Structure formats: C-alpha cells, structure tokens
Amino acid sequence: MTITNTSIIKKILLLFLVLAGMYFAKEFLIPLLIGSILATLFIPLCNYLEKKGLPKGLSAFICLLVLVLIMASLIALLGWKVAEVVKDMTEIKQKAIKWGVSAQEYIFNHLGISVEEQSKILKQEQPSLSSIMQLTLSSITALFTALVLLLAYLFFLLYYRNHIKQFFMKLASPSQQHEVGQMLSKATNVSQQYLFGLSKMIACLWIMYGIGFSVLGVKNAIFFAILCGLLEIVPFVGNITGTTLTILVTALHGASPSVLGGIAVVYGIVQFIQGWVLEPLILGPQVKINPLFTIIALVVGELIWGIPGIILAIPLTAILKIVCDHIDPLKPYGFLIGEIDYNKDSDSFITKLKQGMSKLTKN
C-alpha cells in the first residue's frame, strides 16, 4: 500500500511540475504549438508541391504565403464589416449615454449615492491614459513577436518535418518503430481533421447565423454572423460571447424584446444543429474526447495559457489521447479521456443519433 501511495504522489507531483513548466514557458510554447498544429494542416499541400518537383524550401514558403493570405483575408473581411459598424457608433454612443444616465438615477433613487459620488468612484476605478497606452503598446509588441515566431516555426517545421519524424523513430527500438510511426501519423491526422473540421464549422455557422440574424432584422447582421462564427475557435465561450455582444449592440440600436429573444432562440437552434449534426459529420470520429475532459482541458488551458490555452486545449488533448493509446502504461489514461462506447443494443435516441451520424461520416 505504501508503494502504491508513493507512486500516486510521484505522478501527482510530476503532473504539477509539467503544468508549472507549461505556465512559465508559455511565451515559448504557445507560438511553437500553434505553429506545429498549423504545420500539420499544410503537410498535404507541401507534399503535393514537392511531388510536382518544387524544392522543399520553396514548397514550405508557398504554404507560409497561403497562411498569410488567409489571415489577411479574414482581417480584411472583418475590417470591411467593422467599418460599417463604426458608422453607427454615434447612435450607439448616444443610446449608451442614455442608459448610463438611467442607471445613475436608479442608483441614486435606490441606494442614495449621488451622481457626483458615482462619478468620483468611476474616476478612481478608471486607469490613466498613459497606463492604457503602455498596456496597448506592450500587447501589440507581444502579439507581433508571437506572430513572427509562429510563422518562423511553421516554415521550419514544414521544412524539417521528415527530419523530426526520423528523430522520433530513432528514439524507439526497432520493434517499436512501426507503432511510433502509426502514433505520429494518427496525431498528424487528428490535428488536420480538427483544423479542417473547424474551418468547415465556422463556414456553416456564418451561414446559419447570417440567415437567422437577417430574418430577425438585426442591424449589421452579416458582421455579427462572421463574429459569432470566428469565435468558434474558442469552444463553448466563443459562441456565447458573440451572441451576447450581438444582443447588447442590437439592444442599443433600440430593438424590441421579441428581436432580442429571437437572437437567443437563433443561438439555441444553431447550438443544437452544431452539437448533434455538424460536429459528428464534420469533426469525424477521430477527435474522441468525452465532455468531462473537454471541459477540464478547457479550464486547465485557460488557467495556464489564457485564451490561447482554450484554443489549443482540444487538439492537444486529442493528440495526448493518441499518445496514451499507443503506450501500454498510459493506455488507461487514454481510455479515461476518450468517449464512452455505447452499447449497440441501446435504444436511446441519443445513441441512435450518434450511430447514424457515425455511419454517415464513414460513408
């Protein structure tokens, strides 16, 4: 019993050391891991270009240009729609001021705090202009540095991908090299599948939110549809944030309660379609993480890396499961992370629906 307890304590300490190392090395790890996952997305294109006779360096550079063009297109699309929203900022600001005055009157009438005292409290809580500018400048600098590192990692990971694969093969004994090759192939495939699936999911969300918001008569419906779709990269939280912003801005435009309720209904319908139709069809069977560990991965990712941690949580957990499934001592952990295998004889609606989606995916 003592040996077992000691072994458990060692594993817990090792887990905390790993998490602590990930936290303190986040400036190094986040761009590297994002670059690695994006590199898996461009491996098929890189292989295709090399088969056509292009040098390895040129193929990797073309993949880099494709990524930059995609990012620039998304920024341009958002910028185009943001320009439309900015035109309405004067009206929104006036409505916000009216709401603020009403809130101050409510506080004075019910709590007895005068408007002057409320203004003093707000001024004390507001940061200075110099601190805001300094924080903004440092954030832009950090973002630019991380972006340059990400692009550099992407290029060199594509260029040296075979070299890195041979390194992992050399770490294993000759009898285990086939298993290691399968593990690397599955890890690459699951990352590709997740990214491709996420891109298709975002496109479907754009269409569904665009139709729903347009039917309701939401002002700048296409912008909010694009915003809600792009925020899908942050699981669970992203869609809620996008829908909340849509409701708030639409309310500031003076929309009726029925329209605001309609936005919430559109969100619920889209989430139902996404969860029970799109995810089984688009994400496919390889990203098999049960909901409990999906939430745990998201919470841990946010705690150690913030928003980037939330974005990376699901693909990294899926890759971790594949690694666990191919290493005997770690197979129980892979089983724990994975989905439950439902009994085929079960008559539950959820089971039949999932089985039907799986069959459609395989076909």
Dist. CA 102–CA 118, nearest whole Å = 13
Rounded to two decimals, the pTM is: 0.76
Has residue 300 been placed in a domain? yes
Query: Same structural domain for residues 235 and 294?
Result: yes
pLDDT value of residue 345: 44
Taking the CA atoms of 207, 212, 214 and 219 in sequence, report the sign of the dihedral they define: negative
Same domain, 157 and 239: no
Q: Structure tokens of 180?
A: 């290691």
167 and 244 together in one domain: no
Minimal CA–CA distance to 274: which of 320, 307, 228?
A: 228
Place of tokens 């390895």: 56
How far is 231 from 165, CA to CA, in rounded Å?
33
Residue 344: pLDDT band (50, 70, 90) is: very low
Does residue 234 share a domain with residue 357?
Answer: yes
Number of domains in the chain: 2
Confidence of residue 232 (pLDDT cuts 50, 70, 90): confident
Q: How far apart are CA 274 and CA 238, in angstroms?
A: 14
- Please report where in the chains the tokens 């439309």 appear, as a residue: 84
Structure tokens at 264: 């919430």
Residue at 202 is within a domain: yes
Is the pLDDT at 91 greater than 70? The verdict is no
CA nearest to 228, candidates 209, 212, 215, 247:
209
- Whether 167 and 278 map to the same domain: the answer is no
CA atoms within 13 A on the CB side of 30: 21
Claim to verify: residue 197 and residue 96 sit in the same structural domain: no
Q: What pLDDT does 211 receive? A: 94
pLDDT digits (tens, 9 = 90+) for 9-19: 888 888 899 98
| Tokens of residue 30, six digits | 């986040």
Are residues 209 and 325 located together in one domain of the fold? yes
Confidence check: pLDDT of 353 > 80? no
Structure tokens at 279: 């995810």
| 198 closest CA partner among 14, 41, 91, 89 | 41
Domain range enclosing 43? 25-103+133-171
- Residue 188 shares a structural domain with residue 292: yes
CB 313 within 8 A of CB 298: yes
**Which amino acid is present at 84?**
E
Chain segment 208-221, per-residue pLDDT in tens: 999 999 999 988 88
Residue 220 has a pLDDT of: 85
